Chains A and B, each alone.
Chain A
Amino acid sequence: MRIIVLVKPVPTEQSFELDSQSNNLKRGNANLRINPLDIHAIEESIKLKEKYGGEITLVSMAPLNSESVIRKALSYGIDHGILLSSASFSGSDTLATSYILSKALEKWGYDIILTGKQSYDGDTGHICPGVAEYLGIAHISDVREIIEIKDDTIIVRKYFQDDLLQLQVKSPVIVSCGKGLNTPRIPTIYDRIKSLSTNVIIWDDIDLELDKEKIGMIGSPTYVDSLYSVDVSKENRIYHMSDKEGIKEVLNLLQIKH
């Protein structure tokens, strides 16, 4: 079984909790990590390999400087790694990215594709359905359980509003994985050592024979027109802890609304 996992390196400080202390953000590759939800996809792919056999290939569209983050993902027990990288990819929105990924998947071959439900930077969740559409296959966003993979169908569970559905879906499929799906294991020393010699194949726009009108900023229908601050018209009163007024004000606000 050819199991493919699509992963994306994302900035580490996604919570931006430390944004106001921005001087502490680290340099270099410590800034990037594998998108947390992609790790759930990796875990699911390992479970599938254990059950059905086959090989797992990691595919990532990312700048060349993220190779070390890709290597870290390989240490989970992945057989092959493919990095899709080219200056012409930068500025791609989700339509262009789905196109690029789908061309790589067609070139490599697949029986089932997994990815994280959304990435912690863009958070769109567009890649699973976008790639499905380009490949002409079914997708299941936020799959809750992969029950069985048969010859040309797959049985899965997913939610629709409050109902849990059990569906039989024609293969091959692409599924996206959320937090609740599984608990990722920690890579073994054996897997880590093995991954050091895993070859990472690098493909660019020429290798993939891409239509250059469909990639990068040219191939992206949406663009950021401007950035602006939140408009908040609230009266703003800031106190120091040592100032009793602050505590009094909070109690006032709580009592009035209580």
Chain B
Amino acid sequence: MIKVLDNCTSCKRCISLCPFNCIKLVNSIAFINDSCNECGLCVDKCQEKAIVKCENKSNELKEYKSGYKGICIFTEHNSFQLNDTFKELVTHAFELKKKLVNRKISAILIGDNVNEIADGILNYGIDEVWISDGQNLSHFNEDVIAHLAAKIIERQKPEIFLGLATEYGRSIFPLIATKLKTGLTADCIAIDIEEESEDLVQIRPTYGGSKLAAIKTKKDYRPQMATIREGVIVGAKQIMNKIGKKIFIDDVPSLNSKYQLIKVKKQLFEISSIESSKIVVGIGMGAQSPNTLNLVKEFAEKINASLGATRAVIEAGILDENCQIGQTGKIINPDVYIALGISGAIQHQVGVLNAKSVIAVNINPNAPIFKIANCGIIGDVFEVISELLCQMKN
């Protein structure tokens, strides 16, 4: 919970900042009401450091939900092959295993005729693959797949259950978590194990301010579930010695699915250019005016860069959705990222944390983007880009 301390000076800064309007002055001290969402913006911005976040004391008194051990990952596939980012999930599991004693890594695989996919999973050194194989288990039968996954989890009791935050993962994981009545954190940009408690720490941007939130699942809820963004870790490599085994789950009664496939239209989507380019130019609201935009496009073409944008610019219809960079857009790994007129809220920062160099141009010297930039220029985007183009002509 968020608490206001005695050194509050009634400056009212937090009141004007609160995105949820839940602070007011009571007896000259800031008072936070029940609508507080713990976004932490007031904690961040209070200049007197008079607002703090306290531990959730009630959790400490609880008992752990017993018998839950092990790390489990969910396999996304299209019946023919593993999702190509599955190997990232494998890396996440192995990283957690380093900090947990004697834990097995297992994978849940549900589908129709999936034996070869199971072999593919074992090639990554997974200890066990729990398999449910049947004809009504195509990926679109989300109701049955979630039902089976939940039954398998209830039986096998892993303490951690992870999936990737693909469109599919974001659709099916909440189904499974709700069935299990357990906690699920969406779109983590990192996960970790807290040393003493061995609890899973689920990290994602908070939606107010410039901080990351470390989220945990209360002790009496298990498994701890999370979906993780693609692109935040390097995928695992296959290993030579397969040691794991397949366990077939045949005895869970299935259901009739509510979904029936009528037809499929295969489309070929190219990987969006911002994901494959070595140089990416990001456009923020400080660079979206028509004159500036044209100049920026010219500049991007000259340096062979792809164009990306912040959520606000996409919302304004200036660039297409698949150019969005950030927590709710793409996470990219270019060699050079040039942020133009972008203030750099945390949701945007996490999109480019893996860029090798970051260049930022912003007229505001306090823009948070400068904190993650190798090289920053305080100035007007139009002027800076004009000067760069001018110098490049020489």
Contact = CB atoms under 8 A, between A and B. Distances in A.
Interface of A: 11-23, 25, 27-29, 31-32, 36, 63, 65, 87, 90-91, 93-95, 98, 118, 121-126, 128-130, 132-134, 137-139, 141-142, 155, 159-170, 179-180, 217, 220-230, 232, 234-242, 246-247, 249-251, 253-254, 257-258
Contacts of B370: 236, 238
Given A14-B311, A15-B312, A124-B186, A253 B267 contact: no
Most B Cβ at <10 Å: residue of A14, A15, A18:
A15
A221 B15 contact: no
A65 B18 CA distance: 14
23 contacts: A11-B19, A15-B312, A15-B345, A16-B346, A18-B343, A19-B343, A22-B17, A27-B21, A31-B21, A95-B182, A125-B171, A125-B186, A132-B175, A137-B258, A160-B78, A161-B78, A161-B166, A162-B266, A225-B55, A226-B213, A230-B349, A232-B372, A235-B374
Contacts of A139: 142, 171, 175
A179 B258 contact: no
B317 to A, nearest CB: 10
Interface string B295-332: 00000000110000011100100000100000110000
A166 B377 contact: no
B214 A241 contact: no
Contacts of B78: 160-161
A15 B372 CA distance: 18
Nearest to A27: B16
Contacts of A229: 210-212
Contacts of A227: 40, 43-44, 53, 206, 209, 211-214
Contacts of B35: 63, 65, 90
B248 interface: no
Interface in B340-371: 342-343, 345-347, 349-350, 353, 356-359, 364-368, 370-371
A224 B38 contact: yes
- Interface SS of B by simple majority: mixed
A257 B186 contact: no
B44 A247 contact: no
A160 to B, nearest CB: 6
A254 B336 contact: yes
A118 to B, nearest CB: 7
Interface string B9-39: 0000101111111100000000000111111
A17 B312 contact: yes
Nearest to A142: B167
B117 interface: no
